[in-house]
Structures are given as structure tokens and as C-alpha cells.
Amino acid sequence: MPRDETASALRAAQRSPAFAEDYPMTTRPCASSSVPSPNTDRPDDPPIEADFWRIVQMALGVDSDRARVREWYRTENIRELDGKTAQELVQMGEADRVIGFLRSIRRGYRD
């Protein structure tokens, strides 16, 4: 199909109701990046956010209750990690220590 016919066919398909149902992300406007996310669980800093989600995913392997995991992340002082919370360690750039701690729990080295 020549390029003009292909473009014309795509425009026609995008106007059809079936297309909107099959491919909703391609026909609706994207949210503005300046609109704050309603999710308050995610820190704003991208590297910290990535570490946060890595740790939460590992912690969910230990305890499947999301609310308890979030609470643990923010408030539980971890004796083996100098009495700091996972959140404090992530903010200090020491997410790998928290990951190692969670791995030791998952391997059965600690309760």
C-alpha cells in the first residue's frame, strides 16, 4: 500500500469507535507531566523511586501485606543496618544494604 493510502487508512481507523476500544492509549491525550501524581507512596526523586520499588517488591516476598510493607519501609529501625529505616538508607544511597538484608531473610538466615 503506498504511503498516502496507509496514512489515510490509519486516520480512518482512528476515527472508528472500534479502534478507540482496541487501542485506547493511542487515541486519548496523555496526562501532563506537570500534574502531580495522586499516588503518595512514591518518592519524587527517580533514583530513590526505583530503589523504593525494588525494595518493596523484595519485601512483598517476605510479607504479602502491602500496608505492612510500606509501614516497615518508613518506620522500622533495622538493628542489623545501624538502626536505620529502609527509607533512611535509600535516601542515603544505601539501598543495596536493604536489598542484602531482605535477601538474607528470604534465604532463611534471619526471621
110 pLDDT band, cuts 50/70/90, is confident
Instruction: Considering only residues 28 and 104, tell me which one the structure prediction assigns the higher pLDDT.
Output: 104
Pick from 9-13, 33-37, 88-92: least confident:
33-37
Residue 6, classed as helix, strand or coil, is helix
Segment 12-63, tens digit of pLDDT: 544 444 434 444 444 444 444 444 444 455 545 567 889 999 999 999 999 9
3 pLDDT band, cuts 50/70/90, is low
Instruction: Measure CA 71 to chain center.
Output: 17
Residue 60, classed as helix, strand or coil, is helix
pTM, two decimals, is: 0.57
The CA distance from 93 to 88, in Å, is 9
- For the cut 50, the answer to whether the pLDDT of residue 80 exceeds it is yes
Domain ranges across the chain: 1-30, 46-106
| DSSP category for residue 44 | S
